[in-house]
Amino acid sequence: MSYKLYYIAGSAAMAPYAVLIEAGVKAEFIKLDREKNEQKSEDYLTLNPHGRVPTLIYDDGKVMYESAAICQFLAEHYPATKLAPALGHDDRGLFLQWMAYLTNTPQEALMQYWYPHYFVDGEAEQAKLHAKAEERLGKMFDFLDNELAAKGPHLCGAAFYACDYYLAMLIRWSRNFAKPGHSYPHLNKLVRAALARPAYAQMLKDQGLEQPV
Ligand SMILES: N[C@@H](CCC(=O)N[C@@H](CS)C(=O)NCC(=O)O)C(=O)O
């Protein structure tokens, strides 16, 4: 099976990009230019009507989007990666919990931080939402750092899974915060664990990114 992954550098495509590299399969990575708004082009909207990245093409033409779903789909399809615990595995429940939590709670708050204009009108309201999102994410980072301290070093304990790539990606998006995710000791360790994996390092290099640690 061959794949195409549409991405914008540094976007929600970071984690699935790393999982796809780790799967070691034939894949084409198609970069969209955010400056040119290519994610809103007529052609791209036929693949992803929301005009967002990532989008994955698989099985010669099937299309799926949503970053967390793509990570899980690929990790499960390629069990040799060990990036997702199989059905019946002790870590399965926690893995699903973290994939859902990361995408619907901190990721959503990061959307409010980066794209307040999608949520409210007016510069003053947007600035308030941006600040509130950073404040809420601070509490989430406290919580996650404590979880990792008690049960880590990774989200599900000893094994590194796709949810850990996902968290490393979200931490990068907090790099401009007064207190960014990577400044918390256990979140910092998790970022380092992601960086130590050749697939994550390759993804950053391909996308021209640096991950602050
Ligand atoms: N829930 C979606 C969100 C995807 C998303 O918002 N991607 C952003 C980049 S991080 C995007 O494509 N933004 C471009 C735009 O909104 O025009 C997912 O996780 O895949």
Residues 36-89 pLDDT 10s: 999 999 999 999 999 999 999 999 899 999 999 999 999 999 999 999 999 999
Cβ of residue 48 lying under 6 Å from some atom of ligand 1: no
Q: What is the pLDDT of residue 177?
A: 98
Structural class in CATH, domain 92-197? mainly alpha
Residues of the chain with pLDDT under 50: none
Cβ of residue 11 lying under 6 Å from some atom of ligand 1: yes
Q: From the CA of 97, how far away is ligand 1's center (Å)?
A: 21
Q: What is the pLDDT of residue 79?
A: 97
Q: What is the pLDDT of residue 1?
A: 75
Distance in Å from the first CA to the final CA of the chain: 35
Q: What is the pLDDT of residue 60?
A: 82
CATH topology agreement for domains 3-81 and 92-197: no
DSSP letter for 175, please. Answer: T
Cβ of residue 13 lying under 6 Å from some atom of ligand 1: no
Cβ of residue 32 lying under 6 Å from some atom of ligand 1: no
Q: Ligand 1, from 53, 67, 105, 170: best to mutate by most atoms within 8 Å of Cβ?
A: 53
Q: What is the pLDDT of residue 213?
A: 87
Q: Is 198 exposed, middle or buried (0-12, 13-18, 19+ CB in 10 A)?
A: exposed
Cα(123)–Cα(126) distance, integer angstroms: 5
- The CATH number of the structural domain formed by 3-81 is 3.40.30.10
Which residue's C-alpha comes closest to atom 16 of ligand 1?
Answer: 52
Check: pTM over 0.85? Answer yes or no: yes
Domain ranges (residues) in the chain:
3-81, 92-197
CB 129 within 8 A of CB 159: no
Q: What is the pLDDT of residue 165?
A: 98
Query: Which of 213, 201, 211, 196 lies closest to 21, judged by CA?
Result: 201
Cα(79)–Cα(65) distance, integer angstroms: 21
Which residue's C-alpha comes closest to atom 18 of ligand 1?
Answer: 66
Q: What is the pLDDT of residue 2?
A: 87
Question: What phi-psi label fits residue 32: left (phi over 0), alpha (psi between -120 and 50 degrees) or beta?
Answer: beta
Kindly provide the b/e burial profile for residues 144-164, where b requires at least 16 CB atoms within 10 angstroms of the residue's own CB. Answer: bbeebeeebebbbeebbbbbb
User: Which atom of ligand 1 has the smallest separation from the CA of 107?
Assistant: 19
Q: What is the pLDDT of residue 107?
A: 98
Q: What is the pLDDT of residue 6?
A: 98
Phi, psi of 159 (to 5 degrees): -85, 140
Cα(27)–Cα(155) distance, integer angstroms: 28
